[in-house]
Chain A
Amino acid sequence: MRKSQLGEFEEIVLLTVAILQDEAYGFAIIEEMENRLNRSVSIGAMQTVLKRLEKKNYLTSQLGEATAVRGGKRKRFYHLTAEGKSILQDTKEQRLGLWEAIPNFIVKFAKI
């Protein structure tokens, strides 16, 4: 059994961090989600989730260089940890497993 289950929002944040690779910092993640999912997220919600994921050891972070556009403040870049990757993998497999278990006609029915 897994230690814990990912929440929906947590999963999306983890995936977005994975997409952005080395460029995953707070604001970039929000923008990316807005662009791809058309889902607007407040900094507050985002930061809380990032902190939580970091605490659960699915993410690590370190501070980057300062940039002028940010008023001289440094960015905090997030990376997936091995644990983070493996839980994403698990989640995906769980979903796929569930999808595959659905009898065919319903899938067809759903597609109509």
Chain B
Amino acid sequence: MNPKPPKWPLMFFRWFCREDSVEDIEGDLVEGFYKRVKRKKPAKLLLFLDILKLFRPGIIGFTVNTQNNNFINMLQHHIKTSIRSFGRYKTSFFVNYIGLVGGLLTMLFIYLWIDHEMKVDQFHEDGERICRLINNSGGASTLLNTSPRFAKELKGVIPEIEMMVNSSWGQVESSLTVGENYYSVTGEFGSRDFFNLFSYPLLHGNKETVLDKPNSILISESTALRLFGKTNVIGESVDWRWFSFVEPVEVSGVYRDLPKTSSSQFDYVLSFQAFEKRFKSRIDRGNANGRTFIKLSKGADIASVNQKIHDYTKNAYPEYQGKPAFLINYGDYYLNNVYYDGKTTGGRIQMVKLFGAIGVLVLIIACINFMNLSTARASLRAKDIGVRKVLGARRKSLIAQFLTEACLISLFAGLTAIFLLFLLLPQFKYEFGQHIELSFSIQLILAFLTIILFTGFVSGSYPAFYLSRFNPLNILKGHFKSSTKDLWFRNGLVAFQFAVSLILIVSVLVIYQQMEFIQNKSLGYNSEYIVNFETRGLNRDNQKAFLNEARKLPGVTYASGISHALFGAQKSGANITWTGKNPDEQIWFEWGFVNYDMLELLEIPILEGRYFSKQFGNENSKVVINKATKDLLGFESPIGEKLKIGETEYDIVGVTNDFHFQSLHEKIKPTFFLLNESWSMKLALKLKANNLPETLREVDKLYASFNPGFPFEYSFLDQDHMRMYETEKKVTTLAKFAAFLAIMISILGLFGLVSFIIERRAKEMGIRRILGATPVAVFIALTSNFIRPLLFAIIIGVVTSLYFINQWLQGFAYQIELKWWYFAMAVATMILLSLATSISQILKVIFTNPVNALRDE
């Protein structure tokens, strides 16, 4: 019976207690413990409580044993000396600091953006096995759509296909009605396995059976709340309206709102059977009217499955053998969405890389400021380094010191950049997309920290190795001289900064010019004052009535409809034949159903023949083609010739001039129009320029009377046209931002260098002036250092930007010509800005009394 004080609590105590008190307090604890044992008290428990009560400020002190830990000791020292050196060289500190803030801000923002892009569509389970079936129709035209019938055949012959989901050709703008209330929603179709294949988690419903019935619909959580005010709505009935279809459907499940990282966003999923029922006749190999998603079995290889598809197509459809459908990974598609002849040639990934490169470049420019300023300052710090070395500092610890300095300033700058990022985030969201978020997760913090510290490391590395190399003996004797090699290196860095700035200025100029060109290029039609909107509830029967009413409005010149969105939509048909066609050739056409007046509304000039017109009978069997089609068909005079589309023959009655419905990235494609008065998905009205708001109000009223409950959601055609260039718009904005920062940082760096050099050479200049140097001579003497790197930068910058800009312009089928003055303007901007920064300081030297410079004791 001789209890000992428990070990663990005491060890805990020793761990947290401050160094200087650990012994006597532990003694007190032990003494108290024995006393309590004597008094028959629960000594162990009380000891434990005592220790817990000791765990308080004043007693806790994690002082690391500094005598034994040189690393911590030195780190403290480095941090202290770094902060002192910041204080001493304030100009260069601020130049570095502001530069790094700019660079890091750009980089951190771009990181956020890229991080999101990389995560898109990566959340599906077994993502590496989920594929999409697409068509290679030769050259640059790759169709995302395939025929559902063909896809079903494939499932029968290829055992590796574990699961297949068929869907419509695209999402549909439609409406759901509950009782009297209409809700506009975007919808998706999916066959039975839709929720098995994709990992969109269900809130209510069984994912195995939710899409079994042809009238099953699943709605998203927020749609459920919109429609019913609650989420558990299984069994509720809803009317689904799309175009002229109205169908009662039953909610069979509710899925969670889709994550922002899903490239596909939809408010509901309707059974594919509902789609099939209506488009049965149109779902064949020639009309690629559906999307197909496939999950392969474990271990299956996409390439070998593609080979099988190829073999199958060759036998079953000899006419398509050259260009078979093939599988691509679903998750990869988001970034690699451009295909040429069945192979990916990039796509969005290029933008990710471009953004990444811009971020890195701006950051490097900021790092260079640090390198230049610290090495230029070498002569000032040389004595410091010499003394340290004599006192026994090793090279390693000197390197550590400079790296600490760089990392510390980078850390300050990084924190400021994160703060600025917070402030600027709404603006960035507006420019680059709402999905960008700044939510602090471990991953994000680690990534930011890595970027920041790596920046510090990069900017500190060269000065560290350079400065720590000095021979202490020479320094202390006063023989300090920087070698010409170092000077070259420094000049090289300056040249690099200026070259990058130059490239960015040229890019901004050229991109801006190209965008202007696109906006002003005659597109072959007149998009002004045309409003267009979805038909939504306007179905086959009341469309005609609506258009008739609309035409009567005083502010409306034309009213018509077309079967699909005018811009960006791909609608192609392949099995089109005519007399003299080479039977082996597969040609894809753009086509659409138009209502009367559509071509007149768009003011597409007619070259031969006529538009569709009610004066003639049987217009449904006529076709109007564009000039590209005429050239393709090769008829001398195509009017009266026949075009066989599918199984039906159409008479060519008109040839229009060419027009750009696609973006100017694309060449004009052969296009034809058929007449159909009830197949319009989009309605368009040409309005008179005067009294526009009044007319819109009237149209709104009219729309409401035909479409009760629907808001009149319209857009102007010229705005839609610009929407095709979202990517370009983002690139322009980023390039402007980056160019501005790059220039600012480079100029700041130059400012730092010039002010330093002037400070160092103040005496020299004083002597020169006393001996009679003219202001011009002084000016030349001071600037001659920068002329060579500047010239070098101009050459490099012009050549590189010429190369890159040409590449970029190649992406447009219609482009501006590069003019010499773009480059001249960029160069002039650079030179003027550099002059402006240095001139004030040089003038100060010239206009102050040289005596001031010489008398410094």
Contact = CB atoms under 8 A, between A and B. Distances in A.
Given A43-B53, A44-B53, A69-B34, A75 B59 contact: no
Interface stretch (B18-26, B79-87, B154-162, B530-538): B18-26
A67 B34 CA distance: 13
A74 B23 contact: yes
Interface stretch (A14-22, A46-54, A85-93): A46-54
A48 B24 contact: no
A75 B21 CA distance: 10
Which among A51, A52, A73 has the highest number of chain B CB atoms within 10 Å?
A: A73
B619 to A, nearest CB: 97
17 contacts: A26-B24, A26-B25, A30-B28, A42-B49, A42-B54, A43-B25, A44-B50, A44-B56, A47-B54, A48-B56, A51-B59, A52-B58, A69-B31, A70-B28, A71-B27, A73-B23, A75-B28
A75 B27 contact: yes
B9 interface: no
A37 interface: no
A71 B30 contact: yes
Interface string A43-85: 1110110011000000000010001011101111000000000
A11 to B, nearest CB: 18
B576 to A, nearest CB: 90
Contacts, number: 72
3 nearest interchain CB pairs?
A: A73-B27, A76-B24, A44-B53
B5 interface: yes
Interface in B33-68: 34-35, 49-50, 52-56, 58-59
A51 B53 contact: no
Interface residues of A, number: 22
A43 B50 contact: yes
B32 interface: yes
Contacts of A47: 21, 25, 54, 58-59
* Chain B interface mostly: helix
Contacts of A52: 58
B24 A44 contact: no
B29 interface: yes
Contacts of B32: 27, 30, 43
A45 B53 contact: yes
Nearest to A61: B24
A48 to B, nearest CB: 4
A48 B26 contact: no
A14 to B, nearest CB: 17
A70 B54 contact: no
A85 to B, nearest CB: 23
Contacts of B34: 69
Contacts of A45: 53
Interface string B443-483: 00000000000000000000000000000000000000000
B30 A48 contact: no
Contacts of A43: 25, 28-29, 32, 50, 53-54
Interface in B93-137: none
Contacts of A27: 27-28, 31-32
Nearest to B47: A43
A30 B46 CA distance: 15
Nearest to A42: B53
Nearest to B18: A51
A105 B56 CA distance: 47
B37 to A, nearest CB: 11
A75 to B, nearest CB: 6
Nearest to A52: B58
B59 A63 contact: no
Contacts of B5: 71
Contacts of B53: 42-45
A73 to B, nearest CB: 3
Given A43-B53, A51-B59, A73-B23, 17 more contacts: A26-B25, A43-B50, A43-B54, A44-B52, A44-B54, A44-B56, A45-B53, A47-B58, A48-B56, A48-B58, A63-B23, A70-B30, A71-B30, A73-B26, A74-B27, A75-B28, A76-B23
Nearest to B52: A44
Given A42-B53, A43-B54, A71-B5, A48 B59 contact: yes
A102 to B, nearest CB: 37
A71 B34 CA distance: 10
Nearest to B22: A73
Contacts of B30: 69-71, 73
A42 B27 contact: no
Nearest to A78: B24
B58 A75 contact: no
Contacts of A69: 30-31, 34
Contacts of B24: 25-26, 63, 73-76
A51 B29 contact: no
Identify which of A31, A42, A45, A63 gathers the most chain B CB atoms within 10 Å of its CB.
A42
B11 to A, nearest CB: 13
A26 B56 contact: no
Most buried by A among B31, B49, B54: B31
A44 B31 contact: no
A51 B18 CA distance: 11
A96 B630 CA distance: 117
Nearest to A66: B27
